[in-house]
Structures are given as C-alpha cells and as structure tokens.
Amino acid sequence: MIKKIFYFSMLFILLAACRRGASVVPRLTPGTIDEVIAAMTLEEKAGLLVGYRYFSTFKVPVSFPFGFGLSYTSFAYSAPEVKAGKKGQFTASVTVTNSGKVPGKEVVELYVSAPESSMEKPVRELKGFAKTRILSPGESEVISISFKAEDLASFSEERNAWVTDKGIYKVQFAASADDIRQQADLKLKKEIVRNVLTKL
C-alpha cells in the first residue's frame, strides 16, 4: 500500500510538471522506497551535501533529479557566456531555441562548479534560474542570470570568514541538476574574504 501511494505521488508530480510545459520538480525525487529512506537519513549526516548536492556529487542515481521537468517540446542551448560587471557582479547568458514541433517554455537553471579547495564543496550548486517566454518552433531567446562573487563563497570555520576561492569556476546552464546543456568558464584572479563580525 505504501509503495502504491509513493508511485502515485511521483506520477502526480510528473503530471504537474508537464501541465504548463515549463514547470520543474522543486526537489530531488528518489526512485525507490529505499532511496527515500536513505535521502531522509542524509538530512542528518550529509552536512553541506544535502539533497541534490549529495546525489550529484557522488553520482547516486535517482528517478527524477532536482529541477527535472517535462515538456511537449524540446529545447537546445547554445552560445554560453559569462560577463563581469561592476562590484563583483556577473551575468551569465545562454541562447535557448525551441527545437521541437510545438510552442513551449523552458526553465534554465544556473549551476556553478567551484575549483578545488580545502573546504568541503559539492560538485555544483544552484545559483539562479529563469524562464523563457513561449517560444514557437525554431524561435530563440537569450536568457540572462546575474549573480555576485560573494554568492560563490563558502564558510571557513578555521578563518571564521566567507571565502570565495580564486581559480576557474564552471558556470553551467542546465535543464536539471544532472542535465548540464552548456557551460562557460569564469576565472577569479584573487581570493575574496568577507570576515564575520564576532564582537559588538
């Protein structure tokens, strides 16, 4: 009985996701009862690697990854780019083209993969998302998503500060946490440290 309820719940999520052609699953969905129990256990043990961060980092298979969605059409991603602005601001953009046969919308998810570090980090983290307008077959739209250098920081307990490591970051444009369509490099030439106030 529990299994039937579980699978009917998964079916409901998928139907809701494809209803408007541009909805996505807002959380990772394990594929079996055992995976559900494992996912619940991870909330207590995984530390920073909670949810999709754990499953993507260790390549654990799931039925429906974080951000997964269905559509009546298909989309192609091209021309990925990252531009630096003022005060540590960055704008990531990608061209989305309806490569299918019917009109539809697409949700573009922006993940960032950090360079190697002494601090614990997942393989990628969601930094933003945006939805296209309704695109006719063959029609394209450039989607832009902005983020700041401080959004890439991790907390260092040893230094009691938020640290954005220098190095090359992989800015990834995706249809889900495990469906990376395009990526562009972002190079930070110096480390950025934001100290935490400990005394008033």
Domain ranges of the chain: 2-57, 75-195
CA dist., res. 111 & res. 123, Å (int): 10
Query: 81 has which bridge partners?
Result: 93
Residue with token string 């009917």: 8
Among the CATH numbers 2.60.40.10, 1.20.1250.20, 3.40.50.2300, 1.10.357.10, which is that of 75-195? 2.60.40.10
How big is the chain by its Cα radius of gyration, in Å?
19
The structure's pTM equals 0.79
Residue 20: per-residue pLDDT: 43
Strands (E), 22-160: 75-84, 89-98, 107-113, 125-131, 140-148, 154-156
pLDDT of res. 16: 47
The confidence score (pLDDT) of residue 51 equals: 81
45/113 Cα distance (integer angstroms) = 22
What lies within 8 Å, CB to CB, of 19 at 6+ separation is none
* 7 CB neighbour count, 10 Å cutoff: 14
- Inter-residue contact 112 to 124 (CB < 8 Å): yes
Helices (H), the chain: 2-18, 33-45, 52-57
Per-residue pLDDT 10s for the chain (200 aa) are: 444 444 445 554 454 444 445 656 555 555 565 655 555 555 555 567 788 888 888 888 888 899 998 899 999 999 999 999 888 899 999 999 999 999 999 999 999 999 887 788 899 999 999 999 999 999 999 999 999 999 999 998 888 899 999 999 999 999 999 999 999 999 999 999 988 876 55
Rounded distance between C-alpha atoms, residue 57 and residue 178, angstroms: 10
Residue indicated by tokens 């930070």: 188
